[in-house]
Structure formats: structure tokens, C-alpha cells
Amino acid sequence: MRYSFQYLLFTIITIGALFQGCQSKPDNEASRPLVSVGNRQLTIGMVSSAVPNHLSAEDSIVFVQDYINRWIRSELLLRKAELNLNPKEKNVEQLLEEYRRSLLIHKYQQKLLAQKFTPFITSSEIKKWYEDMEDNFRLEDVIIKGVFVTVPKTAPNINTLEKLYRSDDQEDLVKLETYCFQNAKKYEIFLDQWLPMEDINIALPEPIKRTDQFVKYNKFYKTSDSLNQYFLSIKEYKLPSELAPIEYVEEKIKAVLVNKKRLEFLKQLENDLYEEGLDKKSVKFY
């Protein structure tokens, strides 16, 4: 039986209303088909069970419209595939079994990782990896330590800010932070961490070009646009191709080491299960 668009829309609205009101549908309503492709049918119950409970009536209608459309397209593709593939090509039992095996093994591994894998990376491990693999930690971009401040042009005591952002005195840095907290739109006082120069460029009205040359000859930089003034003080810098400071790549090294230990844990699991299988005679060679 073919259904008109008006019928489908009415049914979609009904489904949305039912979900919004948390009402249950009788079995004969749930089994009523919405649309069919060949001998396959999509029923009200099938669609309703797919609709998330937290959606409003309006969102449920949008979800159902999309769900029906995707179901029709999928079924048409499947029908065409079944008509045009030969029996050997359509035999996917082995692929399904391999997928099932891989999925179950993966789920078990993830469960064990969650229960028993507690990686602890020491600073000595990080340092050793850094030293052994230093060629992998060459910088590709300029990185800096310093101060970056964005203030409205209407901010008070701009002259004071111009003095403070250039200073290396600790008391001045405290005053700078106080000033920025009260007046700045954005500020970064990153004297103990490295930032890519690209992060600063993104925040400027016009990016600084040839940053590798710029940082060599400029400790301070000031610019403005129609609304704001921007102040940059460069205390330290590293250039492309230089070895990155260990603290700059520490998190990256930790991620590598955690993944390495994770793979070692899973490999050890395989070995333990293999030995257990031999000991318990679960494995028999013929």
C-alpha cells in the first residue's frame, strides 16, 4: 500500500505528540507501516522506538522525517546491491563473524584497561624519551614567553599599562595583573610557559609577518584597531628547527608513553592468556 505525503506527515506529527505526552501505542498502531521499499516495511513502532525521549514534539517531527528519509535511501541502496551482486559477493557471513570477534575482543580489552590499567609516567621516563627522540621534537613554529594584553581604547591609565607590560620587576607584574583584571578584554601573562606565536597572531588585528625575524629584533610590540589597543612583550623565544623545550612537549610525550604502555599491557594480556591456555590444556595441537 502506498501512503500520501499528507498521511506520512500526519503520522509523524502523531508520533511526535505521543512521545511528548509519554503515551504508549497499542500493538496494532505500532505495527502499522509508514512506508515500504519492495517487501520491506518501516512501521510506526520501529520509528517511534528510535526517537530519543528528551526531544520536544517539534524536534521529534524533524527527527522522524530525517529517519524515514535515511531508511528509504538505505533500503533502496540495499535492494540495488542485492540485485547486482552475485551470490559469492553477497556472502558476508565470514566478514560478520570476523567483525563480531574483533568487536568482542575490543570490548573486553577496553573493560580490562578501565579496570586494571593505571599508567603512571615518571619525569625520568619523560626525560629519557625526550633525549632519545629529540629529533622528533624540533620546532616548526616560533614559540615565546611573555605578556600579551588587549584593552579598549577607552581604558584608563594607558600610560601606566605601557610601563608595566615592559617591566621585569615582580611588583610591576603584580600591578600589571591587577590592572588587566580590572580593564583588559584579554590578557596572558605567560612567563612560565611557552605559547606558539601563531596564538598571538590570531588575536591581533593584523598578524605579524615573518615571526622568526620579528622576535629576534623586537622585545615589545604595540598596535591598535578601531576599538582596542594590543600590547606584546617577548621575554624569551625559540625559533623553528630548534629543539623544543621539554616542558613544551611534555604532554605530547606523556600521551606517547601512555599509549606505549597501553599496547604493552594488551600484549602482556595476550601472552598471559596464551600461557594459561597451554597450562589448562585449553589449547590442543594436532
84 to 37, 74, 88, 183, 219: CA distances (angstroms): 17, 15, 12, 70, 69
Residues 143 and 128 in one domain: no
Residues 105 and 176 in one domain: no
2 has a pLDDT exceeding 60:
no
Residues 167-179 pLDDT 10s: 999 999 999 999 9
Residues 131 and 253 in one domain: yes
The CB density around residue 201, as the number of other CB atoms within 10 Å, is 14
Residues 197-250 pLDDT 10s: 999 999 999 999 999 999 999 999 999 999 999 999 999 999 999 999 999 999
Residues 199 and 213 in one domain: yes
81 has a pLDDT exceeding 70:
yes
16 has a pLDDT exceeding 70:
no
Residues 126 and 264 in one domain: yes
Residues 184 and 216 in one domain: yes
Which has the closest alpha carbon to 253: 61, 109, 121, 95? 121
- CB-neighbour burial class of residue 95 (10 A; exposed 0-12, middle 13-18, buried 19+): exposed
pLDDT of residue 137: 95
Residues 183 and 48 in one domain: no
154 has a pLDDT exceeding 70:
yes
Mean pLDDT of 31-53: 85
Residues 131 and 144 in one domain: no
pLDDT of residue 76: 94
Enclosing domain of residue 224: 139-238
- The band of 1, judged by pLDDT with boundaries at 50, 70 and 90, is very low
Cβ partners under 8 Å of residue 159, min gap 6: none
Residues 74 and 34 in one domain: yes
Instruction: Give the three cell numbers for residue 166.
Output: 615592559
Give Dmax over CA atoms of the chain in angstroms. Answer: 88
DSSP state of 25: P
pTM: 0.66
Residues 43 and 128 in one domain: no
The last residue of one of the domains, among 51, 84, 117, is 84
- The band of 27, judged by pLDDT with boundaries at 50, 70 and 90, is low
Residues 181 and 58 in one domain: no
Residues 70 and 204 in one domain: no
Question: What is the CATH number for 214?
Answer: 3.10.50
The answer for 157, left when phi > 0, alpha when psi is -120 to 50, beta otherwise, is left
Percent of all residues in the chain with a pLDDT value above 70, rounded to a whole number = 90
- For 258-271, b/e burial (b = at least 16 CB within 10 A) is eeebeeebeeebee
Percent of all residues in the chain with a pLDDT value above 90, rounded to a whole number = 63
Domain tally, the chain: 3
